[in-house]
Structure 1
Amino acid sequence: MFIDTHLHLVARDRITYPWLKDVPALNRDWTFQDYEVTAKRIGIEGVLHMEVDCAPDDIPNETAFIGELMTKPQSMLRGAISSARPESKDCEVFLESLDLKVVKGIRRVLHVVPDDVSQSDLFRENVRKIGKMGLPFDICVLQRQLSLACELVDACPDTVFVLDHCGVPDFTDDGFGDWAHSIATLSERLNVNAKISGISAYAKPDWTIETLRPYVEHVIGCFGWNRVVWGSDSPVCTLNSSLDQWMATTHTLIADASESEKTAFASKNAKRIWSL
């Protein structure tokens, strides 16, 4: 049984998502009810909601929305990874206002802002505060930005980090070497974990198991079975596959692992990292 550490829900009647207008395939409501039907059929027992880069003023609304869903009888939702703006002077007040019964972690998408945002003293100071609160910080960067991830981690040695989407490899033959080296370098920081989450969305539409295998195996080889977690990245994964196809792909890619390794990857590590 898996814990999905990366589910996005879209509720356009109560939350604004400025970026969705540029991605027509995703620009609709994505409900927990629809997700839950498939999730229960494919072996998902618990879910963390991942912030959807909503309008900044709507971040508290997004957390409240997930909190409401968590209170429903037999809800699979275990908590939310909230958006935040560590580059803002108001971030400390925001962090103090969080409902930690709902919020289990923090993310700031870094590939939608200038590279120097994560390099400021204020940003790093606030990420250190996030760590002191016991909240992990998800790193969402593109392959070319993995060196920035290393710099951020080095500046915040007491914060637990989770790298999203295997570092978003660019899936080109001549790019694998640079990506692999960057992943290996980042994995040397023992406070960093890696999330194998819906990477089919970043490959070409004609991807196969063998397209993804070297990336998944390299991440696991670098981080080890005790520092990797699984995520669907639903509904983004639907751009090139489906939720059940991604789960089937995952089972194939980890088929040779031991039962203890599979359990660590599927759920045990997530429970530890996010205190579930």
Structure 2
Amino acid sequence: MMRIDAHQHFWTLSRGDYGWLTPELDAIYRDFAPSDLTPLIAKAGIDATVLVQAAPSIAETEFLLSLADLNTFIKGVVGWMDFEHPDAPATIQSLAKHPALIGLRPMIQDIADPDWMLRDDLAPAFKALIAQDLTLDALTLPQHLPRLRRLLERHQDMCVVIDHGSKPAIRDGSFSEWARDIAALASETSAYCKLSGLVTEAAPDWTPDALKPYVDHLLRSFGPERLIWGSDWPVCTLACSYARWVETTDALIADLSTSERAAILGGNALRAYRLRG
């Protein structure tokens, strides 16, 4: 079984394009490089990773692609570009020439207009994404799920991976509306969803039992064939260590068959991002 961490980040603060990353986030307000992650994935038995953007700039995407060139454990990069720009299709075509680019992620959760993704002027960018065989990583909140379902009705050939289960408000105990909308999206589209980022949506004293209803619902909705494991490292360290997240998720999916666990822990990432095994 090949284990893939399908959602991790690196950043260098001096680049200056991480607007969300402030000194208040003390535990992660420093540089994170491949040398920080390699011992963690070695100990956890992780074979490869997907490196995901954390800044809304093409410069950061190019920085991440350069890291992929130097580190063979990085199987692919999910980058960023301005979907609103008139030259978006040409930019997507240019970025896609790099073999490590496997997807793009507009930071939808940070965009004020919840209907942003449905704007008509973004259609050329989505069509270019499809034409270049790239995956859309959907960094959404629960309020975006009905909009995302409508977007996928328009672009049924677009491969989409929802980040972090669309960030349910676990610490507040919110469940029913998120559960309804995630189930509807899963049943009506072919989207994948990442089993990642849940610990930072939970209370500081979270336990596996607090996460279990959400993980179980994601499993019921997407099935083991469309759920993708990721760490969201180093963001996850605001709530737990890399090792604890690995142990927690392994325990939460322990009752699945060997083939089902293998799909969630690596096989589905290979399919969703068209990665080489």
Q: TM (normalized to structure 1)?
A: 0.93
1:6 is the counterpart of 2:16: no
Q: 1:103 aligns with which of 98, 101, 104?
A: 101
Q: 1:198–1:246: 8 Å Cα contact kept in structure 2?
A: no
Deviations 1:215-261 (A, max 9, x none): 01111111111111111101111111111111110110011010000
Q: Which runs of 5+ in 1 are unaligned?
A: none
Q: Does 1:89 align with 2:90?
A: no
Aligned residue runs from structure 1 range 93-132, under 5 A: 93-98=90-95, 99-113=97-111, 114-132=113-131
Q: 1:39 to 1:15 in 2, by over 3 A?
A: farther
Conserved 8 A contact 1:158-1:191 = no
Point out the more displaced range, 172-181 or 191-200: 172-181
Does the 8 A contact of 1:81 with 1:104 survive in 2? yes
1:76 to 73, 77, 83: 73
Change (3 A) 1:155 1:208: same
Shift of 1:270: 0.7
Aligned partners of 2:68 and 2:77 also within 8 Å: no
Tell me the amino acid that sits aligned with residue 82 of structure 2. Answer: R
Q: Given the superposition, is the C-alpha separation of residues 22 and 156 from structure 1 closer, same or farther in structure 2, using an over 3 Å criterion? A: farther
Aligned to 1:37: 39
Contact 1:87 1:120 in 2 (8 A): no
Looking at structure 2, the residues matched to 116 and 181 of structure 1 have their Cα atoms a distance apart, in angstroms, of 19
Alpha-carbon distance change, 111 to 231 in structure 1, aligned in 2, over 3 angstroms: same
Alpha-carbon distance change, 174 to 14 in structure 1, aligned in 2, over 3 angstroms: closer
RMSD of aligned residue pairs (Cα, Å): 1.7
Write the deviation string for residues 182-210 of structure 1: whole angstroms up to 9, x where unpaired: 11011023320111113101111011000
Encode CA deviations 1:143-192: one digit per residue, 9 max, x unaligned. Answer: 12211211221121110111110110011566211111011011023320
Residue 180 of structure 1 is matched in structure 2 by 179
CA distance in 1 between counterparts of 2:104 and 2:186 reads 20
**Are the aligned partners of 1:165 and 1:197 in contact in 2 as well (CA < 8 Å)?**
yes
Aligned partner of 1:224 in structure 2 is 223
Provide the rounded CA distance (Å) in 2 between the counterparts of 1:260 and 1:162.
Answer: 21
SS state of the match for residue 225, structure 2? helix
CA-CA distance at 1:97 after TM superposition: 1.3
Using the alignment, how far apart are the partners of 1:71 and 1:172 within structure 2?
A: 39
CA distance in 1, matches of 2:252, 2:188: 25
Q: Secondary structure in 2 aligned to 1:162?
A: strand
AA aligned to 1:2 is R
Shift of 1:23: 4.5
Which amino acid letter does the alignment assign opposite residue 92 of structure 1? Answer: P
Instruction: Report the secondary structure of 1:225's partner residue.
Output: coil
1:66 corresponds, among 61, 64, 67, to: 64
User: 1:163 maps to what in 2?
Assistant: 162
Structure 2 match to 1:239: 238
Tell me the SS of whatever aligns to 1:144: helix
What is the total number of aligned residue pairs between the two structures?
Answer: 271
Deviation at 1:269, TM superposition (A): 1.0
Q: 1:23 to 1:145 in 2, by over 3 A?
A: farther
* Distance in 1 (alpha carbons) for counterparts of 2:93 and 2:100: 13
Q: Does 1:18 align with 2:19?
A: yes
Cα distance change, pair 80–40 in 1 and its aligned pair in 2 (3 A): same
Aligned to 2:48: 46
Q: CA deviation at 1:126?
A: 1.4
Partner of 2:30: 28
Write the letter of the residue equivalent to 2:273. W
CA distance in structure 2 between the aligned counterparts of 1:23 and 1:93, rounded to whole angstroms: 38
Counterpart position of 1:252 = 251
SS state at 1:80 partner: strand
Identity within the alignment, %: 32
SS at match of 1:108: coil
